């Protein structure tokens, strides 16, 4: 019997530096974990260290046509941190990065998805963001948007809450 597969998708925001915290907690819960990041998020993470932690390559780009996929298919996804840019593109069905392509497909596959946005107040205040969070929720995505923001007072990123929401 194999363990369920969790895709962790991290976008380009400072909390991505600590995504290994979520991966370790998910592994303790029995998940096989795979990390995908947006191309801009690569600069926030330790690619080699996280590949060693998961046992899979960290993916940020689409594979070449005809190449086999090196990751097992996901049973669930956590998007953390989720930037305003990625949330808005995801809700619009834009697949211009591997991470977004996986997220758009996951809605169609009806996979369990938890997203934890992280942004500044000005980005979050744009009307498109609230509208797109509403769309994602209407499609079954669990969005935790309790004002986790890149501004004072900066809170600790809620890695444990993301995993708790997936368990629920």
pLDDT confidence of residue 2: 85
Provide CB contacts within 8 A for 50, sequence distance 6+. Answer: 19, 20, 23, 35, 58
pLDDT confidence of residue 145: 74
The backbone torsions φ and ψ at residue 31, rounded to the nearest 5 degrees and listed phi first, read -85, 140
CA torsion angle 19 22 28 34 (round to 10): -60
pLDDT confidence of residue 121: 83
Provide CB contacts within 8 A for 108, sequence distance 6+. Answer: none
CATH topology of domain 5-62+72-167: Rossmann fold (3.40.50)
pLDDT confidence of residue 99: 98
pLDDT confidence of residue 124: 86
> For the chain, what are the domain ranges?
5-62+72-167
pLDDT confidence of residue 153: 55
Q: Are 51 and 36 in contact (CB under 8 A)?
A: no
pLDDT confidence of residue 1: 60
Residues of the chain with pLDDT under 70: 1, 146-155
pLDDT confidence of residue 146: 62
- 3-state percent helix, strand, coil for the chain, nearest multiple of 5: 45, 15, 40
């Amino acid at each position: 019997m194999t363990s369920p597969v969790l895709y962790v998708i991290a976008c380009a925001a400072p909390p991505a530096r600590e995504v290994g915290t979520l991966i370790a907690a998910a592994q303790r819960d029995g998940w096989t974990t795979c990390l995908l990041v947006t191309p801009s998020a690569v600069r926030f993470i330790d690619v080699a260290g996280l590949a060693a932690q998961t046992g899979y390559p960290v993916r940020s780009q689409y594979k070449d046509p005809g190449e086999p996929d090196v990751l097992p298919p996901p049973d669930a996804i956590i998007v953390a941190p989720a930037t305003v840019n990625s949330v808005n593109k995801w809700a619009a069905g834009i697949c211009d990065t591997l991470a977004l392509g996986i997220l758009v497909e996951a809605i169609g596959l009806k996979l369990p998805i938890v997203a934890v946005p992280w942004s500044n107040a000005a980005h979050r205040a744009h009307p498109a963001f609230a509208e797109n969070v509403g769309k994602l929720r209407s499609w079954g995505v669990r969005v935790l948007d309790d004002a986790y923001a890149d501004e004072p007072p900066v809170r600790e990123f809620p890695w444990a809450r993301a995993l708790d929401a997936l368990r629920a």
